[in-house]
Amino acid sequence: MKKIGVECTSASVIGKRSYQEDKYVLSAGDYGWLIAIMDGHNGAQTSIYCCDNLVETFSKTNSLFEPVRILNDKTKNFESGSTLSIVHIPKDAQVANVAILGDSPVIIRSKNGVINISPEHNVRTNLLEREAAIKRGGVYSAGHIYDDRLQYGLQMSRALGDSYLDNILNREPDVYTIELAEESFVIAVSDGVIDPGHENSKMQIDRIVKLVEQGADAKKLVEDALARQTKDNATAIVWQRKK
C-alpha cells in the first residue's frame, strides 16, 4: 500500500468568555482517525461526557449512528446541551464519514476538489429544520425554538442533552460520506470560528478554506477567529493529506 502522509492539528481557546464549553476529540488508531467537535451550551456537562466517551463507544461499534445513539441515551437527562460533529477517516484515507448533530461545521475538500460544507441544524437559517421542530411542538421566536411551557429556547433543532427540550429536539444525526484524494483536507470547528447564522458565514468559510490552502493549521484558524473579535469559545481541528 502506498504510504499516506497526513498532518493533524487542533487548537481551542476560551475567547472572550469566562468559561470553556467547547470540547474536541482528535484520535488515531487501528480504525484510522476520529475527529469530533462538541460545542456545549448551558454548561459543559454534555460536551465533557461526549468528549470522554466518544472514542470508546466508536471503537466498540465502528459506526457513526450507534455512538450518537449511546451518547444520547446517556445525556438526554442532562440540562446542558451540546452539538456533536464527528468525522471518521479510515486508515486508507479514501473517504471521510461524517455525522452532524447541530451546527458545528465540517468543511471538506473532496476528491474532485469541491468544498463540501456540512448541513446546519439551526432554526434561524434552516427553514426545513425549523418547520420540523414546530411540528414536534416547538414555538419559534427571535431565532430560537422554544417549548411553550418554558422560557428556555435553543437556536438548534438537533443536539444532545437539553432535557428541557427533549420532546422538541431531533436526536438523529445527518450521516454521509465524502471521497478524498491527495491534498484533500477536513476542517471541523465550533461556531466560535464560523457562526452559521451570521450574514457573512459564507465569507468566513471561504476565508478559512483559503487560510488552510495557504498552509494554516488549527492554531492559526483559532487565532484568526480571535482577531475577528469572536465572543464565543473557538475550537478548530485540521486534518490534511499530503503528497
CA distance 221 to 207: 10
C-alpha cell at 148: 411553550
Q: Residue 201: its pLDDT value, please? A: 78
Q: Which residues contact 69 (CB under 8 A, 6 or more apart)?
A: 171
Q: Residue 144: its pLDDT value, please? A: 94
Q: Residue 200: its pLDDT value, please? A: 67
Tell whether the model's pLDDT for residue 165 goes beyond 90.
yes
Q: Residue 199: its pLDDT value, please? A: 55
Q: Residue 195: its pLDDT value, please? A: 67
Beta strand residue intervals within 102-173, DSSP E: 106-109, 115-117, 138-141, 144-147, 153-154, 160-161
Tell whether the model's pLDDT for residue 4 goes beyond 80.
no
Tell whether the model's pLDDT for residue 1 goes beyond 50.
no
Q: How far is CA 231 from the centre of its chain?
A: 18
Taking only the tens place, the pLDDT of each residue in 195-213 is 655 556 788 899 999 999 9
Tell whether the model's pLDDT for residue 191 goes beyond 60.
yes
CATH number of the domain located at residue range(s) 5-120+170-242 in this protein: 3.60.40.10
Tell whether the model's pLDDT for residue 243 goes beyond 80.
no
Taking only the tens place, the pLDDT of each residue in 84-117 is 999 999 999 999 999 999 999 999 999 999 999 9
Nearest CA to 43 out of 193, 164, 168, 151 is that of 164
Residue 191 to residues 2, 56, 86, 129, 231, Cα–Cα distance (Å): 36, 26, 15, 18, 10
Average pLDDT over residues 143-147: 93
Domain spans in the chain, listed from the N-terminal domain onward: 5-120+170-242
Average pLDDT over residues 39-62: 95
Q: Which helix H or strand E contains 38, and what residues bound it?
A: strand 32-41
CA distance 64 to 30: 16
Q: Which helix H or strand E contains 95, and what residues bound it?
A: strand 95-101
Average pLDDT over residues 66-86: 97
Give the mean pLDDT of the chain: 93
C-alpha cell at 200: 457573512
Q: Is 42 left (phi over 0), alpha (psi -120 to 50) or beta?
A: left
User: Which of 6-15, 197-206, 217-226, 228-237 comes out lowest in average pLDDT?
Assistant: 197-206
